[in-house]
Structure 1
């Protein structure tokens, strides 16, 4: 199941967030060789892990974190605005209905084998859509490998590149917006064979400054 962690409930997820930061380090530093992110303590944390971030964790019954992703509001500093602005050739998309999807990672043993999404990957993507539909968010910004474009379209996200692919961290990266609606959620539910909710708490859980 997908748990949403914000400053309001972070005290309930101290151990799980530690697991998430270490998973991020294993995936992005050890595996993907993004050495600029390396930390001596093995916890990958950056300037955007602040009170404005929304963390989504896939936690199994044993309280082990098997997957993670982070959502950042486009109305505040985020990766595309402050770290990778060169990926956006036109006016940068921003608004309360647009959030940036970052740091997506899944434990190696729980990744897909072939074309189908793994259960963890499906749940993470479904979590974004459920959360968005109930929180007034309908578009995400993604910096990703261009090979993901077709997969997103197949999942019924409506994608639009913001510029041409450029090398980032040793691989081609393109920034896109990906809009979604209930049809996207239905598609993800069809792929996993059930329509059960993946979020364990209300999807409108988000920092208080956004809810006011």
Structure 2
């Protein structure tokens, strides 16, 4: 299930968030080599992990096996602050668009082959399922260029914001990706289920927002 954690419920989910901080450190520092953000406490936290951040945790038997973060684009965010060179124009800013970042899946939940990882698919489905009732229409993200086709196959209308650039030996492109009800239906089709991916408490919150 996908647990959505915001400023409103983070105090009740401290154990899960501790797992999330440590998972981020394992993925981005220990595996990907982002030495600039290494911390002695093995928790990867940055200036954007504030009251505006929305954390999506894939939880399996009380273990966090996947993570991503949404940030509002109507205020400073990662692309606009640290990577504006990926945009040929001004980075997007809208109350209806979020930034999707810090995307990672634990080693125990990774799969091989060309099919989209089920945990990553659940997280993306959770973003759309949670976001649509709140008036979200899409996200911006910095991602490997190979992800572009995958997003289009999921009926997410992804458009590059600039030309790809090499960052830490990976070809990265910034995208503006729109989603709607068709995207959710395609994601559900890919998952093979129309059941909600959201944890019960997150599902209730999504209904209340609609």
In which range does the TM-score fall when normalised by the shorter chain? over 0.9
- The aligned counterpart of 1:18 is 18
> Quick one: distance in 2 between partners of 1:204 and 1:6?
14
Deviation, structure 1 residue 169: 2.5
Q: In the alignment, does 2:54 pair up with 1:54? A: yes
Deviation, structure 1 residue 180: 0.7
> Quick one: distance in 1 between partners of 2:125 and 2:204?
14
The structure 1 segments of at least 4 consecutive aligned residues displaced by more than 2 Å after TM superposition are: 201-206
> Quick one: distance in 2 between partners of 1:80 and 1:45?
17
Could you report, residue by residue, the CA deviation over 1:69-125 in whole angstroms, capped at 9, with x for unpaired residues?
100000111011111011111122111100000101101121232121222111101
| Residues 21-40 of structure 1 aligned to structure 2 (within 5 Å) | 21-40=21-40
Q: In the alignment, does 2:75 pair up with 1:76? A: yes
Could you report, residue by residue, the CA deviation over 1:112-149 in whole angstroms, capped at 9, with x for unpaired residues?
32121222111101001001111100110010110111
SS at match of 1:185: helix
- The aligned counterpart of 1:108 is 107
- The aligned counterpart of 1:182 is 181
> Quick one: distance in 1 between partners of 2:106 and 2:13?
19
Deviation, structure 1 residue 204: 8.5
RMSD, aligned CA: 1.5
Could you report, residue by residue, the CA deviation over 1:3-47 in whole angstroms, capped at 9, with x for unpaired residues?
111111111110110100110011111111111111111100000
> Quick one: distance in 2 between partners of 1:72 and 1:50?
10
- The aligned counterpart of 1:91 is 90
SS at match of 2:151: helix
Going from structure 1 to structure 2, the CA distance change for 1:105 and 1:190 (only over 3 Å counts) comes to same
Q: TM-score, normalised by structure 1?
A: 0.93
> Quick one: distance in 1 between partners of 2:19 and 2:56?
12
Show structure 1 runs of 5+ residues with no match: none
Q: TM-score, normalised by structure 2?
A: 0.93
Is the 1:162–1:174 Cα contact (8 Å) retained in structure 2? yes
Deviates more, 1:67-76 or 1:104-113: 104-113
Is the 1:135–1:203 Cα contact (8 Å) retained in structure 2? no
Is the 1:135–1:204 Cα contact (8 Å) retained in structure 2? no
> Quick one: distance in 2 between partners of 1:129 and 1:112?
23
Is the 1:73–1:98 Cα contact (8 Å) retained in structure 2? yes
Is the 1:4–1:205 Cα contact (8 Å) retained in structure 2? no
> Quick one: distance in 1 between partners of 2:204 and 2:158?
24
- The aligned counterpart of 1:142 is 141
